């Protein structure tokens, strides 16, 4: 009876934590919607206020890396469901490596932008928006890596399968969100360059 009560409390705690994660995703979505809306209002179709710089190819490579990482995080979650824990850990590590590659490609893109004369602080705020969009997204990537490490460490410590699945589900949902978010930002920037 006591074990049953503990399991019920545990499930309620996990549901509350998942709800908080969804609130964070919704607020992040609203923040990026506000930022892109701010960009649109700033430019107002005025060519003089446009980005006036070609986007670095590193953004395209970033897109490929994050799509691949979305596949590997899905494979990690699927492996967790099938009780294939070695595969789960491997796919989490591969996802983290792809995230590191994404991070590196974003820093490379910033370097290319800087060298082309598109500085964070300049007379053309639309160029500054590129840094704001990608910088805010990189913060979300770091949070996603935290979720992945949390899931990985849980499996190393042999947590219960219910908790393992919960951690993988949260990491997967959040990772897919930042994947979709990057694709949205990249397409938005392409359309407005």
pLDDT of residue 51: 64
The helix/strand/coil state of 133 is helix
pLDDT of residue 11: 63
Q: What's the pLDDT band for 131 if we cut at 50, 70, 90?
A: very high
* Cα first-last separation, the chain: 63
Q: Where are the domains of the chain?
A: 2-191
Asked if 126 and 40 touch (Cβ cutoff 8 Å), the reply is no
Q: What's the pLDDT band for 138 if we cut at 50, 70, 90?
A: very high
Exposed, middle or buried, 152 (CB in 10 Å: 0-12/13-18/19+)?
buried
As a whole number of angstroms, the distance between CA 140 and CA 128 comes to: 19
More confident residue, 33 or 116: 33
pLDDT at 8 over 80: no
- Counting DSSP H helices and E strands in the chain, the numbers are 5, 0
pLDDT of residue 5: 46
pLDDT of residue 70: 97
The matching CATH number, chosen from 1.20.120.80, 3.40.50.300, 1.20.1440.130, 3.40.1010.10, for 2-191 is: 1.20.120.80
């Amino acid at each position: 009876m006591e074990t049953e009560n503990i399991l019920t409390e545990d499930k309620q705690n996990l549901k509350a934590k998942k709800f908080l994660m969804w609130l964070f995703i919704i607020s992040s979505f609203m923040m990026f919607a506000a930022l892109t809306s701010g960009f649109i209002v700033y430019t107002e179709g005025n060519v003089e206020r446009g980005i006036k710089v070609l986007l670095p190819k590193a953004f395209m490579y970033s897109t490929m890396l994050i799509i691949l990482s979305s596949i590997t995080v899905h494979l990690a979650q699927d492996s967790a469901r099938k009780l294939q824990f070695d595969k789960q850990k491997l796919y989490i590590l591969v996802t983290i490596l792809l995230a590191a590659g994404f991070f590196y490609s974003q820093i490379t893109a910033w370097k290319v932008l800087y060298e082309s004369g598109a500085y964070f602080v300049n007379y053309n705020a639309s160029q500054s928006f590129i840094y704001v969009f990608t910088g805010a997204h990189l913060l979300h990537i770091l949070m996603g890596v935290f979720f992945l490490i949390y899931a990985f460490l849980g499996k190393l410590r042999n947590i219960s399968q219910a908790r393992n699945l919960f951690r993988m589900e949260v990491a997967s949902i959040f990772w897919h969100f930042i994947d979709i978010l990057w694709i949205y930002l990249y397409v938005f920037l392409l359309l407005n360059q």
